[in-house]
Homo-oligomer: A and B are copies of this chain.
Amino acid sequence: MLKGIHPLLGPELLHAIRTMGHGDEIVIADANFPSSTMGPKVVRADGVGAPGILEAILAHMPLDTFVDESAWRMEVVGDATAVPDICVTFQGLVKKLAGDFTVVPIERFAFYERARRAAYIVATTEFQLYGNIILKKGVVRPEELFRVDSD
């Protein structure tokens, strides 16, 4: 346990998001997502829900402002306009912690394709269906850096 760092970030996940750079993407996957066969390195987060991991990551990782879209969720199969409760939660956390970004819905297999090019997949035990989100990391500008004096 560390001071000033979100406690849901274990050593593997901290290591993962610290190695990511501008434009790299990370998938927060629900308990039914085929994380292991996608290709990217998987960080297990068994027993944790997707919103908790989303909050923990956004507490320390900015989203990308160089592009039009920096967060995506999976469309409901057969009902492209549905917005599951878990996705409403995702959008709320993104707005609160990252700023004015839309969590863009994309079709299931397009979501898989995007996931295959991600830097990491966090495999949660989120029970709710469609509890998946992809985030694109932004830049930390020099003036935004942590400093001991301003602590």
Chain A contact residues, CB within 8 Å of chain B: 1-24, 29, 31-37, 44-48, 52-53, 55-56, 59-62, 66, 77, 97, 119, 123, 125, 127-129, 137, 139-142, 144-146, 148, 151
Contacts and interface: CB of A to CB of B under 8 A. Distances in A.
Nearest to A45: B47
A56 B4 CA distance: 12
A148 B97 contact: yes
Contacts of A148: 6, 55, 59, 97
Given A22-B33, A140-B1, A12 B11 contact: no
A61 B55 CA distance: 22
A32 B109 CA distance: 30
